Homo-oligomer: A and B are copies of this chain.
């Protein structure tokens, strides 16, 4: 078994020597650029952990782990165009630094590169690995489309929201863990349990992100606290508040949602006060805990001794108490 720092080092080393292509440079420079912006490399590390847990050779899982990271960054590159985002990890997005055409095409070739990397597994598991990868990739695209649809909808229901974050964020965690487990030699049943664990963990993780946007410690939370409130983003908290607010409270919430000229601090404080009044934080935490418990329920059923499961379990626990 490997420690998390050992697995992270394997990813870092592999990324450091990874080449994406030579010419035309206009196509490959943006790929080098976005891959160099860093990030926690959470997904490739999860893939290696899953492989390791089942006693697989993690060295053989490194290239598929990079596939997940390249795929994830491809989706970020295209999402940033769609969202007109100026910054990614504090640096210019690819479509800002170059242009949208470059970002479209570099993203396309990253998708091809991810397909090449994910194939670097034994022939005996090539088809099941690709099946999981393709299903996951389609799901992520569907999630992004549903998220874009939300921007123009007046009302989003909680179950629609959970389905969106399941597709946009969580299935990639589930798929990543499942691929890692297949490479590690897991049977169908354990691979499915780990997939469910990953999806439910991913939903809990996104719900926590929604909570931290409002209630996170500004010094530990990387983003601007209240950013979702200022952009009227349909998070679990806002959806739940719109669902349960009545009378004057609902009027106030609608007022802030349609306000054009306002003091940002005042809006964040006012919406937060409404959330507090409606016990939104408690409801969101209950929902998050529900998914976290479902995740752990699946995890516990995996047919492995506890000592083999301890590293991934600790990692999952740590993921859900982050305040940064």
Hey, which bits of chain A sit against chain B, CB under 8 A? 21, 23-24, 26-27, 78, 81-82, 100-102, 104-105, 107-109, 111-113, 115-116, 119, 123, 126-127, 130-131, 134, 137-138, 141-142, 144-146, 148-149
In the complex formed, the residue of B with least CB distance to A26 is B145
Q: Are B127 and A115 in contact (CB under 8 A)?
A: no
Given contacts A27-B145, A134-B115, contact A81 B104 (CB under 8 A): yes
Q: Give me 29 A-to-B residue pairs in the complex whose CB atoms sit less than 8 angstroms apart, sorted by A's number.
A: A23-B142, A24-B142, A24-B145, A24-B146, A26-B145, A27-B141, A27-B142, A78-B105, A82-B101, A100-B100, A101-B148, A104-B104, A105-B141, A105-B144, A107-B108, A108-B111, A108-B141, A112-B138, A112-B141, A113-B138, A115-B115, A115-B130, A115-B134, A116-B134, A116-B138, A119-B127, A123-B127, A126-B126, A130-B130
For A119, A134, A138, the residue with the greatest tally of chain B CB atoms inside 10 Å of its CB is A138
| Least Cβ–Cβ distance between A272 and chain B, in angstroms | 31
A127 vs B116: C-alpha distance when bound (angstroms): 10
Hey, which chain B residues are within 8 Å of A102, CB to CB?
Answer: 145
A281 vs B66: C-alpha distance when bound (angstroms): 49
Q: Are B149 and A24 in contact (CB under 8 A)?
A: yes
Hey, which chain B residues are within 8 Å of A144, CB to CB?
Answer: 105
A115 vs B108: C-alpha distance when bound (angstroms): 13
Given contacts A126-B127, A142-B23, contact A134 B112 (CB under 8 A): yes
Q: Are A105 and B138 in contact (CB under 8 A)?
A: no
Q: Are B104 and A82 in contact (CB under 8 A)?
A: yes
A287 vs B45: C-alpha distance when bound (angstroms): 52
In the complex formed, the residue of B with least CB distance to A22 is B142
Given contacts A82-B105, A126-B126, A138-B21, contact A149 B115 (CB under 8 A): no
Hey, which chain B residues are within 8 Å of A148, CB to CB?
Answer: 26, 101, 105
Q: Are A26 and B82 in contact (CB under 8 A)?
A: no
A107 vs B145: C-alpha distance when bound (angstroms): 12
Q: Select A78's contact among B21, B104, B137, beta carbons within 8 Å.
A: B104
Q: Are B149 and A26 in contact (CB under 8 A)?
A: yes
| Least Cβ–Cβ distance between A132 and chain B, in angstroms | 12
| Least Cβ–Cβ distance between A153 and chain B, in angstroms | 11
A112 vs B27: C-alpha distance when bound (angstroms): 20
A253 vs B137: C-alpha distance when bound (angstroms): 49
A18 vs B116: C-alpha distance when bound (angstroms): 26
A127 vs B124: C-alpha distance when bound (angstroms): 11
Q: Are B78 and A109 in contact (CB under 8 A)?
A: no
Given contacts A24-B146, A119-B127, 6 further A-B contacts (CB under 8 A): A21-B138, A26-B145, A26-B149, A105-B145, A115-B115, A119-B134
In the complex formed, the residue of B with least CB distance to A138 is B112
Hey, which chain B residues are within 8 Å of A146, CB to CB?
Answer: 24
